[in-house]
Amino acid sequence: MKNDNDIKNLLIVDGDNYSRQIMEEFAKKLIKYAKISKNGDIIILDNSLSPDNKLKIAFVLRFIAHTFDNNIPETITLKELANLLSERLEAVGSRLSQIMKKENFAKKVKKGVYLVQYFVIDKFITDLENKEHSIGSGKKRTIKSGSKRKDKAVTGVGKDILELLVNNNFFKTPKTIKEACEKLKEETRFHNPKVVDMTIRKTFVNSKKILKRIPNPDKGKAKWLYVNR
C-alpha cells in the first residue's frame, strides 16, 4: 500500500505548483543570458547571442515572468522586438515569420502580438546551453611562443556578417558576395560590396577560418563562392 501511495504522489501533482517549478528551472538557466524588468522590458546580458536567439529569449522570458507576476504580459509585440534588436519593423517581421514557419516557435495572438509556444521552451534552452558548451570546449589558439592569443572581436561589417549570416548558417551552401550583400540588405544592413568581400576574405576565410573560398562552377560574373568549412 505504501508503494502504491508513493507512485500516486509521483504521478499526481499540483498543476500550478508543478508548472511554477518548471518555470523556475528554466529561469535559472536563462538569467546568465538575459533578464526582464518589472515592466516587462527585456535586458540582454550576452551580446554574443544571434539576433534570432535574442528574439527567442524575449519570447521565453515574457512567458516565464508572467508565471511569477501577472502584471507582466506573457505576450510580446512586434514593436517591442524591433526595439530590442534595433531593427526596422519590416526586418523583424520577416525574421519572425521565418522562425514561426521553420520552428513553430510562436503563434500570433492578434495583429502585431505574439506568444511563445510552450512546448519549444525546453528544447530552445537546451540548444542554447549546448551551443555555449560547444564554443567553450574549443581549443584555445596559441602563438609560437606558447602564450595564449585572444581573437579580436569583430565589429562593424564583420559583426553584421557574423551575427546575421554566419551564425544563422547562411553559408551552409555556397554563396556569392552579391547574395551576402542582398541578405544583409534584407536585415537593413547596407554595406559596400567591396567592403563585404574584403571582410569575408580577411576575417572569415584567412583569420578565423570559418569559411572557405571555392571557384564558382557557373562561371558567371562572380568568380568565387563562400561556404562553411
Q: Encode pLDDT of 24-55 as tens digits.
A: 888 899 989 999 999 999 999 988 889 999 99
Spatial distance between the Cα atoms of 52 and 166, rounded to a whole number of angstroms: 12
**What single letter denotes the amino acid at residue 84?**
L
Spatial distance between the Cα atoms of 158 and 164, rounded to a whole number of angstroms: 10
227 close to 174: Cβ distance less than 8 angstroms? yes
H or E element at residue 83? helix 78-85
Spatial distance between the Cα atoms of 12 and 15, rounded to a whole number of angstroms: 9
Whether domain 156-226 has CATH 1.10.405: the reply is no
Question: What is the mean predicted confidence (pLDDT) over 97-105?
Answer: 91
Compute φ and ψ for 195, nearest 5 degrees: -70, -40
Q: Which CATH number fits domain 12-133: 3.30.70, 1.10.490, 1.10.1790, 1.10.10?
A: 1.10.10
Q: Encode pLDDT of 157-178 as tens digits.
A: 888 899 999 998 899 999 999 9
Q: Examine domains 12-133 and 156-226 and report if their fold is the same.
A: yes
In the three-class reduction of DSSP (H, G, I as helix; E, B as strand; rest coil), residue 127 is classed as helix
Give me the percent of the chain exceeding a pLDDT of 70.
Answer: 82
pTM metric for this prediction: 0.54
Domain ranges of the chain: 12-133, 156-226
